[in-house]
Amino acid sequence: MRHYAAVALILSASSLGGCVPLVVGAGATAGVVAAQDRGFEQAVDDNEIAFEINRKLIARDSKLFSRVSTQVSKGRVVLNGFVANPEDRITAMKIAWSVSGVREVLDELQVGKPLSFSERTSDALITTKLRARLTGDNSISSINYSIETLRGTVYLMGIAQDSAELNRVIAHARDVSGVRNVVSNVEIKTARPAPAPASAPAGASRTPAPDTVPAPSRSGGASGGTSGGGSSDLYVEPLPAP
């Protein structure tokens, strides 16, 4: 499975909303993936998780699959989209939790009608413009970000070097024409503290800080509002695997 996931990861580099920008050549794409802060192995694991979630969604209901979009970073899964009813929302969550390697599932699903062709076109244009902005900003490691746009709401996922970088990314997103809201599920990379000096008192804590910490979740878009119709809480309690 890992072999197929690695191949799929390289192929997925051409997708607009994925974590990997378009790069010509499989070797170049692998190099870009390796340059991400999550590393090549983690990127393959994440792609395998996304592949398995999508496979199970298709097996359960092809219409449900067509309505749910999946973002994965370091085992954290975000489900986006517009499902037909609350039961489909629960089903999608259960499917995500049932996949090996998933450590967290964030529910951004909404109950509503499916996207129209014009909405999909508009969303794709927003994603493309934002990706270009991030790539052109030398203060941003754009390869670490995944972008998904649904009805003008931009969903960000990935790893920020610090809060300043994340703020720049959010500012770019809010400045793109057509953006209504920005939802951030980005983690912020933190520097590990220096080891305690040798003369530190016995029992002094030497436990390093975690590599990443959750970032603030939501930002009002150009209209100044918050994400409309979505879940009110960013983090979702785990559901038992089916």
- The domain limits of the chain are 2-111, 117-197+207-220
Q: How far apart are CA 139 and CA 231, in angstroms?
A: 31
Describe the crossing of helices 26-35 and 39-60 by its angle, rounded to 10 degrees: 110
C-beta of residue 17 within 8 angstroms of C-beta of residue 28: no
* Interior angle at CA 77, CA 210 and CA 179, nearest 5: 100
pLDDT class for 40, splitting at 50, 70, 90?
Answer: confident
Task: Tell me the mean pLDDT in the region 32-40.
Answer: 62
Which fold, 2-111? Histidine-containing Protein; Chain: A; (3.30.1340)
In this prediction, residue 237 carries a pLDDT of 46
pLDDT class for 191, splitting at 50, 70, 90?
Answer: low
C-beta of residue 13 within 8 angstroms of C-beta of residue 143: no
Q: Is this structure's pTM higher than 0.85?
A: no
pLDDT score of 146 more than 50: yes
Tokens representing 79 are 């489900």
Of 47, 39, 48, 53, nearest to 95 by C-alpha is 53
Q: What is the CA radius of gyration of the chain?
A: 19
Pick the range with the lowest mean pLDDT from 13-17, 48-52, 148-152, 182-186: 13-17
In this prediction, residue 12 carries a pLDDT of 44
Q: How far apart are CA 106 and CA 172, in angstroms?
A: 23
In this prediction, residue 186 carries a pLDDT of 96
